[in-house]
């Protein structure tokens, strides 16, 4: 299958990496385009055979499935510029969460879906969040699902849950990285352990932690209780976390939801009156 990727920033490049590393697509079957051509050319140098085009229209003409990996405010101008290029046998896949699939379907001739990737897909792991449009048939759904299964665990997400799901799956690695950095910094500043050793121990702990969850050895609650011995050090540390972090994630989700609504308000006017 010929695959196109319009926009090769962080997420677009991630998708290309995941497709090729999982062997779900060969470089010769992938076409890319980016406003700053250097980023696209860097991918072509990395993956011999991958084709760089100068226009989004050319990528669409040469592809059966097209990933649209542009920022929210770039989305409508892009769709307007290629409105007459799509074919009914293609599939358009947005990765832009503030743009509803319903809005995408108003401006193109072909079926549409949204897929929100995660940086952990580069390790051929983690989830991808999938929302299907109303015009996509079962054959196309299965085709996209099977493609995503090569490098992720696809999960279908309703439109109203896309922000919270994205915070957990796609933003989550950044949130956890921040917390783990704080864990390491706290150890270094409060004890004699070196930064290098603290980072190594934390990284190994996270890898093992992930494997326990992957094997379903414990739930999060079971794991916490297993490590916590009555009257022990872990319990003392958990008391500190419970006291100082009890509302931090509520505030986090409130702020990300607020930003999501702001993005919607910025994007929606472009799509009004496009019926």
Tokens of 243: 């006291």
* Annotated binding residue 10: yes
CA angle 43, 47, 51 (to 5 degrees): 70
* Annotated binding residue 256: no
How far lies 153's CA from each of 113, 114, 132, 160, 161, in Å?
Answer: 16, 15, 16, 20, 17
* Annotated binding residue 6: yes
* Annotated binding residue 172: no
* Annotated binding residue 237: no
CA distance 38 to 23: 25
* Annotated binding residue 208: no
Burial of 33 (0-12, 13-18, 19+ CB in 10 A): buried
Annotated binding residues for NADP(+), as ranges?
6-11
Annotated binding residues, as ranges?
6-11
């Amino acid at each position: 299958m010929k695959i196109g990727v319009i926009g090769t920033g962080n997420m677009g490049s991630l998708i290309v990496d995941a497709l090729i590393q999982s062997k779900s697509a060969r470089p010769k079957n992938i076409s890319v385009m980016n406003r700053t051509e250097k980023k696209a050319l860097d991918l072509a140098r990395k993956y011999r055979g991958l084709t760089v085009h100068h226009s989004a229209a050319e990528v669409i003409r040469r592809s059966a499935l097209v990933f649209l990996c542009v920022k929210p405010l770039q989305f409508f101008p892009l769709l307007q510029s290629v409105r007459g290029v799509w074919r009914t046998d293609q599939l358009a896949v947005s990765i832009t969460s503030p743009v509803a699939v319903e809005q995408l379907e108003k401006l193109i001739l072909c079926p549409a879906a949204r897929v929100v990737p995660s940086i952990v897909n580069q390790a051929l792991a983690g989830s991808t969040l999938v929302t299907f449009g109303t015009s996509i048939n079962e054959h196309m759904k299965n085709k996209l699902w099977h493609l995503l299964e090569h490098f992720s665990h696809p999960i279908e997400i309703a439109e109203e849950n896309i922000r919270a799901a994205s915070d957990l799956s796609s933003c989550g690695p950044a949130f956890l990285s921040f917390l783990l950095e704080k864990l390491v910094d706290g150890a270094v500043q409060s004890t004699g352990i070196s930064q290098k050793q603290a980072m190594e121990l934390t990284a190994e702990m996270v890898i093992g932690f992930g494997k326990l969850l992957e094997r379903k050895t414990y739930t999060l609650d079971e794991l916490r209780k297993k490590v916590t011995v009555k009257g022990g050090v872990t319990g003392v540390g958990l008391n500190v976390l419970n006291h100082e972090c009890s509302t931090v994630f509520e505030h986090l989700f409130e702020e990300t939801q607020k930003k999501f609504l702001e993005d919607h308000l910025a994007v929606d006017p472009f799509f009004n009156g496009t019926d």
